[in-house]
Structure 1
Amino acid sequence: MNSQKTFYYIALGLFATAVIGSIVNSIINYDLIVETFIKLGYPVYLIHVLGVFQSIGLILIIFNKSHWALEWVYAGFFMNYFLGAMAHLAVKDGNGASAVVCIVLLFVTYIQSKKIRDSNSELAEFGKPKHAKFI
């Protein structure tokens, strides 16, 4: 159990570093990011929207409170990185490798968090008396 948590936190740390790096890069190199978005065919205002939603999504993943919201956050990150990698492939830009690495880290984080949640729910149920149902 502890090795699963350690593996989860390592993957989460790497993923969080990648997301924070992406957000900071969008702020520091804004003109270069604008050129890239225009070349990929995306509207420029999407840079700000992605930055805000990536920040919110990362906070939700780190604090891991609502399982319903977590599923949507993971889906949103997957769509973001998948469509980004496909856009880079479509214009033959060749910069989609970082998106693929983020997808792999996202899958590892998602699978490990599911394993940890499932084992925690099994531990919570362990030792509770089973009540007979009366008709």
Structure 2
Amino acid sequence: MKKVVITYWVFTSLLSALMLFGAIPDIMSDPAAVAVFDHLGYPAYILPFIGVAKLLGVIALLVPGFPRVKEWAYAGFVIDLTGAMYSHIAVGDPSSGMVVFLIGYVLIAGSYIYHHKKKRMVSSADMTNHDSSKAMV
């Protein structure tokens, strides 16, 4: 169980850092982020909205409980990454820049998979404890 929990936190921490490092410049409408959005053809006023959404997604992953909110956070990260990747492809950006997206997808998949493994292990441990307590009665 310890290996699953450690692996989950490695993936989730790296994913959170990736999303946080993207969220902060978006929220602050950093000139570099505005330039990227301009290059992609998006209006700059969307930047803070996307940044806050990423920040809320990171909080949802890190706060214990709220399983449905976590599912939405994972979905939101996939949608954000896919939209960004598609936008870069659509404007003809070089494929060498797609490595960041691949890393993002790996981190999302790893965190998501190990989140569910951890959840299954906890629920099966609860069931085992529940069954053993019945035997004692």
Task: State the TM-score bracket (shorter-chain normalisation).
Answer: 0.7 to 0.9
Q: Which ranges of structure 1 fall in alignment gaps of 5 or more residues?
A: none
TM-score by length of 2: 0.85
Structure 1 stretches of 4+ with a deviation exceeding 2 A read: 23-29, 94-97, 127-131
Which deviates further from its counterpart, 22-31 or 37-46?
Answer: 22-31
State the number of aligned residues.
Answer: 131
- Give, as a single letter, the amino acid of the residue that structure 1 aligns with 2:109: F
Shift of residue 97, structure 1, vs aligned partner: 2.6
Q: 2:40 is matched by which residue type in structure 1? A: L
> What is residue 124 of structure 2 aligned with on the other side?
122
- Which residue number in structure 2 is paired with residue 112 of structure 1? 114
CA distance in 1, matches of 2:53, 2:128: 38
Task: Give the helix-richer structure, 1 or 2.
Answer: 2
Contact 1:85 1:100 in 2 (8 A): no
- Unaligned runs of 5+ residues in structure 2 are none
Identity, % of aligned positions: 24
Structure 1 residues 96 and 22: CA distance shift in structure 2, 3 A: same
Q: In 1, distance between residues paired with 2:47 and 2:122?
A: 38
Contact 1:37/1:43 (<8 A) preserved: yes
Q: CA deviation at 1:23?
A: 2.2
Mapped partners of 2:90, 2:32: distance in 1: 19
Give the corresponding residue for 2:88.
Answer: 88
- Farther off after superposition, 117-126 or 20-29: 20-29
Pair 27,69 (structure 1): closer, same or farther in 2 beyond 3 Å: closer
TM, length-normalised to structure 1: 0.86
RMSD (Å) for aligned C-alpha atoms: 2.0
The aligned amino acid for 1:117 is K
2:13 counterpart letter in structure 1: G
1:66 Cα deviation after fit: 0.9
Partner of 2:45: 45
Indicate whether 1:22 and 2:38 are aligned: no
Contact 1:74 1:110 (C-alpha < 8 Å) held by counterparts: yes
